[in-house]
Amino acid sequence: MYQAVTQFSKMLRNLDNWIVKAEAHAKTKNFDPETLVQARLAPDMYPLVKQVQSACDSAKFSAAYMTGKEAPSHADTETTLEQIHARIHAVLAHLETYTEKDFEGWADRKVSPKWLAGKWMRGDVYLFQAGIPNFYFHVTTAYDILRHNGVDVGKMDFMGNVPTQG
């Protein structure tokens, strides 16, 4: 399931690009781009910064749980767009350290994140029912926050390049 992780990386690079576009949008409209760091869709939803942190965590923990490796710790102290970019880049660099071989036996691996309090699930159940939906929840909501604030991103920016043949 190495390709699930390369896809997380691709989406994190896309996310990084949406924020670059958001900064350009703020410049054009002459507003402070840093206001977007705390932008949210509802008062009881996470703001952009926390959506990005959560997407980053979901990607790194999915990779760690499917391989039995240790995920690096990040303190969630980002308060600026520059720091948000740096967080994404740090997780991307970490995900680069994985190889296809690391994922051997991923589906049958016992995954036991802290929030399961001692219980566990199979690697494939974790990936499809927790890792992937959680990752896309946060990355899509980050996108939706930017779109709701008028940033000129579209569906192709969301998806990124999908390689075709023929």
**29, 104, 129, 156: which one binds a second copy (CB under 8 A):** 129
Binding segment toward a second copy, per CB under 8 A, in 21-29, 68-76, 80-88, 146-154: 146-154
Binding segment toward a second copy, per CB under 8 A, in 56-64, 72-80, 83-91, 136-144: 136-144
**Which CB atom, from 86 or from 125, has the smaller least distance to a second copy?**
125
**63 closest CA partner among 102, 24, 35, 23:** 102
Give min distance, CB of 82 to a second copy, in A.
26
Q: How many residues bind a second copy (CB under 8 A)?
A: 41
**Which CB atom, from 83 or from 122, has the smaller least distance to a second copy?**
122
**97, 118, 123, 156: which one binds a second copy (CB under 8 A):** 118
In order of 11, 34, 59, 87, the CA distances from 71 in angstroms are 19, 29, 10, 14
Asked if 157 interacts with a second copy (CB under 8 A), we say no
Encoding tokens for residue 134?
């959680």
Collect all residues with Cβ–Cβ distance below 8 Å to 37 and sequence separation of at least 6. Answer: 47, 48, 49, 78, 79, 80, 81, 84
Asked if 166 interacts with a second copy (CB under 8 A), we say yes
Alpha carbons 166 and 156: distance in angstroms, whole number:
21
Asked if 81 interacts with a second copy (CB under 8 A), we say no
Residue type, 49: V
Asked if 108 interacts with a second copy (CB under 8 A), we say no
Encoding tokens for residue 115?
């929030």
> Under a CB-based contact definition with an 8 Å cutoff, are residues 72 and 145 in contact?
no
For the chain, how far is it from start to end, CA to CA, in angstroms?
Answer: 25
| Footprint on this chain of a second copy (rule: CB under 8 A) | 3-4, 7, 10-11, 41-42, 45, 112, 116, 118-122, 124-125, 128-130, 132-134, 136-137, 140-141, 143-144, 147-148, 150, 155, 158-160, 162-166
